[in-house]
Amino acid sequence: MSDNDNRQYVSVDQLCVGLFVHLDLTWMEHPFTFSSFKIKSQDQIDTIRGLGLGKIRFDPSKSDVKPLPQPAGGSEAPSAPAQPKQVSEEEKAALAAKRSRIEKLEKQRAAIAECEKKFHGAATAVKNITKNLFSKPQESLREASELVGQMVDSMLTDKDIAIHLMNDKVAGEEVYFHSLNVAVLAMILGKELGLPADDIRTLGVGSMFHDIGKVEIPEKILLKTDPLTRAEIDFMRQHVTYGMDIGKKVGLAPGVLAIIAQHHEYMDGSGYPRGTAGDKIYQLSRIITIVNDYDNQCNQINPANSMTPHEALSQMFSQHRARYDPAALKLFVRTLGVYPPGTIVKLSNDVIGMVTSVNSSKPLKPSVLIYDPEIPKHEAVILDLETEPDINVSKSIKPGQLPRQIHDYLNPRKRMTYFFDPSQQGGK
């Protein structure tokens, strides 16, 4: 059923709690968070009365009640607009709150743009470090240590970390984005686990070089979108051995070498190359294993095979829990939230959006980019659920299930890449 099929009108005198209404005004012309919503209080009715609308559109299918009867002598949908009443102090406060929200939204956009800039700068640095590792090993290791050191120092300056979804504009840089993604998430998880700064730095450098052995794997195998043959799988697994050889030659630290050697080992002994299990796996390797698997599930070579962030976490926790360090996995899920950045969600008020960031201390209250066809895409509202106690996430949605217009508006990422913003003390 189309929206037009549900388009009916009532007068302001017929409004009541439980009616789902749509205000035919621009977002700045009313004080509400959304232009479409279910009326929850008499105060909301009084505010709508003061907007000067002669008729109000409502949706019977989303309403809990029927409109009140039309007062005697009135028409069902008067064409002449009612005269607006004097704006109350409450309405003035609501409009002021919306203006404040818009100012905050502009600051959010600016912070995300700055985060994007830092992310792409870090990705470029990782690319150069990796490419120069063989010709200039000492210089590359120094640059890697400096880059990670800057990130760790930034992470440790604030208690809370906001994890942002980044744009995936740069094609062909998957290997560098993967290394950086794993580094960012591993260091954040290390911080949440309360590890000392030196261990977090080792996590960062180890993440950067954990797949360095793949330089010895032919691209026809690395970039193959069809399932690998048994022989190709065995060859691919050799990247761990190749990585150890390279790491020793260029002088990587013992902790980094341990990460390279064990980043595919599982707690239940089902990993490779040695089938090492339990406490015999280096603690930092256990962290990398969790983050590496998560990123690989979200970012398959063939995007059609990629899981949503929500699906990846759910599968890791419900089906493969025995593979991972239980305390680290539990904290990883808690840090990213049930609906990590990049997840398409349906909110409790039936609004569709995409999670764009999550605060590590408030993972159940992410920021969500809202689909609203009446607001231009470049001005889309980013709703901070922390400030909306009555709204929560109902469920996740696969991008392929979205109608074309919503898909184009939200622009779901083909690659899930993250970066952090430590400047948002105490929340967003």
Among 385, 403, 305, which residue's Cα sits nearest to residue 339? 385
- Here the contacts of 229-232 (C-beta below 8 Å, separation 24 or greater) are none
Check if the beta carbon of residue 179 is closer than 8 Å to that of residue 147: no
Asked if residue 88 is part of any domain, the answer here is: no
Owning domain of residue 36:
1-67
Distance of CA 150 to the CA centre of its chain: 23
Distance of CA 34 to the CA centre of its chain: 22
pLDDT of 211-255, one tens digit each?
Answer: 999 999 999 999 999 999 999 999 999 999 999 999 999 999 999
Cross-strand bridge partners of residue 38 = 20
Instruction: Provide the token pair at 343.
Output: 């997840």
Task: Assess whether 3 and 123 both reside in one domain.
Answer: no
The upper half-sphere exposure of residue 193, i.e. CA atoms within 13 Å in the direction of its Cβ, equals 25
CATH code of the domain in which 385 resides: 1.10.3210.10
Mapping DSSP to helix (H, G, I), strand (E, B) and coil, where does residue 124 land?
Answer: helix
Model pLDDT, residue 32: 85
Task: Assess whether 17 and 155 both reside in one domain.
Answer: no
Asked if residue 106 is part of any domain, the answer here is: yes
Task: Enumerate residues 6+ apart whose C-beta is below 8 A from 28.
Answer: 98, 102
Task: Assess whether 3 and 119 both reside in one domain.
Answer: no
The sign of the CA dihedral 362, 363, 364, 365 is positive
Task: Assess whether 414 and 357 both reside in one domain.
Answer: yes
Task: Assess whether 109 and 11 both reside in one domain.
Answer: no
Task: Assess whether 12 and 139 both reside in one domain.
Answer: no
Query: Which of 67, 92, 112 is where one domain is finished?
Result: 67
Check if the beta carbon of residue 416 is closer than 8 Å to that of residue 142: no
Asked if residue 95 is part of any domain, the answer here is: no
Asked if residue 428 is part of any domain, the answer here is: no
Checking DSSP bridges between strand 362-370 and strand 36-38, what pairing results, if any?
A: unpaired
Query: Which of 23, 44, 67 is where one domain is finished?
Result: 67
DSSP 296-319: HHHS-SSGGGPPPHHHHHHHHHHT
Mapping DSSP to helix (H, G, I), strand (E, B) and coil, where does residue 243 land?
Answer: helix
Model pLDDT, residue 363: 81
Model pLDDT, residue 90: 63
State how many domains the chain has.
2
Check if the beta carbon of residue 327 is closer than 8 Å to that of residue 195: no
Asked if residue 427 is part of any domain, the answer here is: no
Task: Assess whether 204 and 151 both reside in one domain.
Answer: yes
Model pLDDT, residue 333: 93
Task: Assess whether 47 and 145 both reside in one domain.
Answer: no
Model pLDDT, residue 291: 98
Query: Which of 47, 67, 87 is where one domain is finished?
Result: 67
Q: What's this model's pTM, rounded to 2 decimal places?
A: 0.82
Among 19, 21, 17, 18, which residue's Cα sits nearest to residue 7? 21
- The list of the chain residues with pLDDT below 50 reads 1-4, 76-82, 171-172, 424-428
Task: Assess whether 48 and 120 both reside in one domain.
Answer: no
List the beta strands (DSSP E) in 321-422: 344-347, 352-359, 362-370, 382-384, 393-397, 418-421
The H-assigned helical ranges of 319-373 are 326-336
Asked if residue 143 is part of any domain, the answer here is: yes
Task: Assess whether 59 and 179 both reside in one domain.
Answer: no
Instruction: Provide the token pair at 223.
Output: 């970039």
Asked if residue 158 is part of any domain, the answer here is: yes
pLDDT of 327-383, one tens digit each?
Answer: 999 999 999 998 999 999 999 988 999 999 998 778 888 999 999 988 888 888 899
Asked if residue 258 is part of any domain, the answer here is: yes
CB atoms < 10 A from the CB of 85, how many? 12
**d(Cα 187, Cα 149) in Å, to the nearest integer?**
11
Residue 164 DSSP one-character state: E
The upper half-sphere exposure of residue 225, i.e. CA atoms within 13 Å in the direction of its Cβ, equals 5
Task: Assess whether 46 and 130 both reside in one domain.
Answer: no
DSSP 177-220: HHHHHHHHHHHHHHHHTT--HHHHHHHHHHHHHTTGGGGGS-HH
Task: Assess whether 189 and 242 both reside in one domain.
Answer: yes
Residue 60 DSSP one-character state: G
